[in-house]
Structure 1
Amino acid sequence: MVLPAALGRRKIMSSSRLGSRLAVCLLNISEARRKYIVENIAKAALEKNGQKHPEASVLNIFSDQDYNRSVITIAASVDKLGSCVLAACLEAFRAIDMEVQEGVHPCLGAVDLIPIYPLSGVGVDECGAVARSLAKDLVLHVPGCSVFLFGEADLPKKRSLVQRRKQLGWFTRRDFSALEPDLGAAPARRCGLTGVGASPYVMNCNVTIDSQDLSVGREIAHAIRGSSAHGLKGVQAMAFPHEGKSEIACNVESFENQKTTDTSEGSQYVTYSVLGDRFSYVSPHYIEAQVKKLASNQGIGTIGRALVGFTPPECKNCAEYAIKENIGEFWKIREGVFM
Structure 2
Amino acid sequence: MASSSFGRRLVACLLNISEAHRKDLVETVARAALYNNKGVRREGTTVLNIFNDRDYNRSVITIVASIDSIGEAVLSACEKACGLIDMGAHKGVHPCMGAVDLIPIYPLGEEVGVEDCAKEARAVAQGLTERVQGTSAFLFGWADSPLQRGLAQRRKEMGWFKKTPDLQAIRPDMGPQPQKPFGLTGVGAGPYVMNCNVTIDTQDMAMGRSIAAALRESTPEGLPGVQVLALPHEGAVEIACNVESVKGSPTSQTTAGEPWPCFSIAGQPYCHVPASLITARVAELAGREGVSVKGTALVGFTPRECRGLAEFALSQRIAEFWKEQGRIRM
When normalised by structure 1's length, the TM-score is 0.92
The residue number in structure 2 matching 1:227 is 218
The corresponding residue for 2:15 is 27
Number of positions where the alignment pairs a residue of Structure 1 with one of Structure 2: 326
Displacement of 1:195 in angstroms is 0.4
Q: Alignment partner for residue 92 of structure 1, among 71, 76, 81? A: 81
Q: How does 1:143-162 map to 2 (within 5 A)?
A: 143-162=133-152
Match 2:28 to one of 40, 51, 57: 40
1:108 equivalenced with 2:107 (yes/no): no
Where 2:206 maps in the other structure, the secondary structure is: helix
Please report how far the alpha carbon of residue 277 of structure 1 lies from its aligned counterpart in structure 2 after TM superposition: 1.5
Contact 1:261/1:270, CA 8 A, preserved across alignment: no
Partner residue in 1 for 2:267: 276
Match of 1:314 among 283, 296, 305: 305
1:1-339 paired onto structure 2 within 5 Å: 12-13=1-2, 15=4, 17-18=5-6, 20-50=8-38, 51-120=40-109, 121-172=111-162, 173-258=164-249, 260=251, 267=258, 269-335=260-326
> Residue 173 of structure 2 aligns to a residue in which SS?
coil
The aligned counterpart of 1:6 is: none
Identical amino acids, percent of aligned pairs: 53
Query: Could you report, residue by residue, the CA deviation over 1:249-301 in whole angstroms, capped at 9, with x for unpaired residues?
Result: 00000011245267889847221112322101000011000000111011000
Distance change >3 Å, CA 336–CA 108, structure 1 → 2: closer
Give the Cα–Cα distance (whole angstroms) in 1 for the partners of residues 7 and 230 of structure 2. Answer: 42
Equivalents in 2 of 1:41, 1:231: separation in Å?
36
How far apart, in 1, do the equivalents of 2:153 and 2:116 lie? 22
Q: Distance in 1 between matches of 2:206 and 2:249?
A: 33
The CA deviation at 1:54 is 1.4
Unaligned runs of 5+ in 1: 1-11
What does the per-residue CA deviation read over 1:132-161, in whole Å, with 9 as the maximum and x for residues that have no partner?
111111010111100000111111111111
Distance 2:260 2:27 in 1: 34
Q: Is the 8 A contact 1:263 1:271 kept in 2?
A: no
Aligned partners of 1:334 and 1:79: how far apart in 2? 26
- Secondary structure, aligned partner of 1:272: strand
* Change over 3 Å in CA distance of 1:19–1:76 after alignment to 2: closer
Equivalent pair of 1:204/1:250 in contact (CA under 8 Å)? yes
Task: Pick closer, same or farther for the CA change 1:336–1:39 going to 2, 3 Å.
Answer: closer
Q: CA RMSD in A?
A: 1.9
Partner SS state of residue 231, structure 2: strand
**Residues 64 and 265 of structure 1: CA distance in aligned 2, closer, same or farther (over 3 Å):** farther
Aligned to 2:272, the other structure's residue is in SS state: strand
Cα deviation 1:76-95 (Å, max 9, x = unaligned)? 01100000000000000000
Give the C-alpha shift of residue 223 in structure 1: 0.4
Q: Which amino acid aligns with 1:163?
A: Q
Q: Deviations over 1:48-97 (max 9, x none)?
A: 25201111000000010000000000000110000000000000000000
Distance in 2 between residues matched to 1:265 and 1:327, nearest whole Å: 39
Change (3 A) 1:198 1:41: same
- The answer (yes or no) to whether the contact 1:179–1:187 under 8 Å persists in 2 is yes
Query: Retained in 2: the 8 A contact 1:262–1:270?
Result: no
CA 259–119 in structure 1, closer or farther in 2 if over 3 Å, else same: closer
CA distance, structure 2, for counterparts of residue 337 and residue 238 of structure 1: 23
Separation in 2 of the partners of 1:174 and 1:264?
Answer: 39
| TM-score, scaled relative to structure 2 | 0.95
**AA aligned opposite 1:154:** D
SS in 2 for 1:238: strand
